[in-house]
Structure 1
């Protein structure tokens, strides 16, 4: 009964998107464009960059616009781990895998809300996308990982993370003379013709985003208004809305006070523009949390409530369960953030040593610094907890691990490695656990061709495409780790190809 009620609520939430500001306003006047391109791509993260390159390589005259003053969006700050079925790395290692296995893994964590057919279509195209990226200069660091939720070793890590991947693509873009890139361009609305086809965008050039205004989309009137035509298609790869506190908290009130590591420009303006053009928004009440350290590596340590000095949940839980548990704890313990305790052996089991290094050097963002302690007393004093309670928690934790039965049923094996007792003599490492909203699964409904779907007739809107985090419905209640990058890459590639096929 609960599932049915939640599903109905999600459906109502999607339909209510029609009531977004401006959705019911009169149709915008179709103006003569100030200039026209074949294809306009909105957003310069990995999905938009791939879509723009694909379209330009196919001979189209492409305009890529970014509202911020630099390219990259949230992709620039992301790891962009890439779940790929059939990569050269898998073949070299003899890993048995299939698109159905990846889609099935995604379905298992989706809460019943993910789209299996879209996930399967994505999975079938991951090897093609990997080759496309490699052929254009992207390099992988040689590891092939089985990350949290995955049933096989299939996750590739780009050299330099998201920034390194984008730098390779930007270098490749320099040789595409028919691809024009402009920053500080805000898209206000989609231009639709009398037949309901997307034929351009209304923009403001020389737009200056105001990071101090939480309502920048509504209040900021900077820039010069222009009309840009798109003779073939408009592709939105405009990212999510994790920075838009007012928008994200309408359906999930507790998100209002949660921090985020996404780009400052990750607001709901582009989503609203697509809704006003008739597109259907869905899954706006879903969310995804992340942490300075990989979620799957929480399992190696012990998480403590500073108010009591005791454990309170399994460190091997899913990312959203960990977030919900720690946020609910803070409602009852005086808003004290829990912290993790590790030792040297635990840190050696991490799959991403770069993030450990950044944390130990204070370079891992909000609440992302890890501290080293030679005594439990010093660790307890730093995090404001009772040293005797902490020592007792360490003792009982280790007893449970040695006995093979954790008090909170934490899984004691992950990626074929055992969870082991923590050192009782030190040194120890501590880091605050503060969930950060890093992805919004909600967005515009789309199909296997990356076409935006109409709210009124559930059919593709001619000439309007959506990919990356701007697209909703693929992942469901929880996006599995390393699955944002393949979604961006595959559907960015498909959007570019399908836009090329549109008649000018």
Structure 2
């Protein structure tokens, strides 16, 4: 069989960045990176391992590779700050068989976590990858403890999870993990470079990724800034560049409803150039159309905000109500897609969006640190009576009172006859005054699609089905892992485990 020249392949995504009605979005169509032959390249620098991206996956890979004996590991970050989108995520980490589960008497296993995720994936999730991540999730969690991450002293049961298995950082965001991991990377000797934008791969005649181009001194949004450098990577290049939720044109190519007017929880740099370039080399695109919206987001604040973690914590013992009817309309802890679809169906009589509300007893909601913040910043409200609440949101009072009474019966009996909600975490937590209330409306949050990898974090080639030599990927830039819907708190273990896996594979290369 003759050798395949990756650089001569048809660029099937060319033109994907054409305008798609997203005027005004600065990063709607990021400048495309372009790979080229490594022949005759004058290398500016040679490193042992190169990691593109400084989120959970990249940082975990940096630590693991140094622990395994690497001497010269470099992390390159496009933005001026480290941590990428990971730094502003919810800081929620799911793992089976953890010490806190044992302490709380929670019966969990790798198999149970995998089955929960397969169910949410609607039959198209990658079971082998899910199992690999679940089997090593506790190792990744331990890495965060070793680095100094701190978590709340309780577990949460997020939507779609059959048991409580989720830790959350005390700062209620991903920075509680990325900051300690970054510090640990530097302590171990990992070299970190910010404002370093990936500009394409450098590939030899056999199709192996020898290195890459990086624009050092880059200013985000100013595409020609910085100095172009050619970096050779002895053991390989790990792409840990995240998703493309901020690339409006690309997400609209998959789902035309995800216009620039639809909110997004991601950091500005989540634009997908690294993914694009792997496709150019022949990486297999998987599930790009499956873009997840977070059902816990608020229309009253930008980005991830304060309401998201507030809602995630309170959903198990709260009641979501359609403002038009005064009644519940969903299982508050169903998987994300089920809830997001149900929320989007909440409309007024003219068909316009009518964000539903999440009602919680203040005595229960105040246990989460974000409760004070949502009230302080006017993205949540506190009411002393159901009458006051109903008037504020123009909710019909009689059916609302009836719904609260009915829901409280479910709390008492432990059986939700309306939507089959698991009431374990709602035990003894009745909906009663004073209330705290937030509004809900989904925001684009996570891209299930990306490049296909195997359980060694090797990027698979669309022509041969074999790994592309010298190229690895981990985190949200990878596709097909979760299927149709990703369960909350499963991205951090995936990113970290696959980052660690890539390091292990490269160190054996």
Q: Taking structure 2 as the reference length, what is the TM-score of the superposition?
A: 0.83
**What are the within-5 Å matches in structure 2 for residues 87-486 of structure 1?**
87-93=98-104, 95-160=106-171, 161-177=173-189, 179-210=190-221, 220-256=223-259, 257-290=261-294, 291=296, 292=308, 293-295=310-312, 297-298=314-315, 300-306=317-323, 308-311=324-327, 313-316=329-332, 317-330=334-347, 333-345=351-363, 347=365, 353-362=368-377, 369-376=379-386, 378-380=388-390, 382-383=392-393, 385=394, 389=396, 391-401=397-407, 404=410, 409-411=418-420, 413-418=422-427, 422-423=431-432, 426-486=433-493
In structure 1, distance between residues paired with 2:488 and 2:255: 22
The alpha-carbon deviation at position 19 of structure 1 amounts to: 1.9
Moved more, 405-414 or 116-125: 405-414
Counterpart check, 1:35 vs 2:45: yes
Question: Out of 55, 65, 69, which is 1:45 matched to?
Answer: 55
Asked if the contact 2:474–2:499 (Cα under 8 Å) also holds between the matched residues in 1, the reply is yes
Q: Is the alpha carbon distance of 1:115 and 1:376 closer, same or farther for their aligned partners in structure 2, counting shifts above 3 Å? A: same
Question: Out of 2, 13, 18, which is 1:20 matched to?
Answer: 13
Q: What residue ranges of structure 1 are gaps of 5+ in the alignment?
A: 1-16, 211-215, 363-367
The alpha-carbon deviation at position 452 of structure 1 amounts to: 0.8
How many residues end up aligned between the 2 structures? 462
Q: Over residues 364-387 of structure 1, what are the superposed CA-to-partner deviations in whole Å (9 max), with x where a residue is unaligned?
A: xxxx8211123555544544x25x
Q: Is the alpha carbon distance of 1:371 and 1:91 closer, same or farther for their aligned partners in structure 2, counting shifts above 3 Å? A: closer
In structure 2, distance between residues paired with 1:322 and 1:89: 28
Q: What residue ranges of structure 2 are gaps of 5+ in the alignment?
A: 1-9, 17-31, 297-307
In structure 1, distance between residues paired with 2:108 and 2:391: 48
Q: Is the alpha carbon distance of 1:106 and 1:476 closer, same or farther for their aligned partners in structure 2, counting shifts above 3 Å? A: same
The alpha-carbon deviation at position 444 of structure 1 amounts to: 0.9
Q: Is the alpha carbon distance of 1:25 and 1:245 closer, same or farther for their aligned partners in structure 2, counting shifts above 3 Å? A: closer
Asked if the contact 2:34–2:201 (Cα under 8 Å) also holds between the matched residues in 1, the reply is no
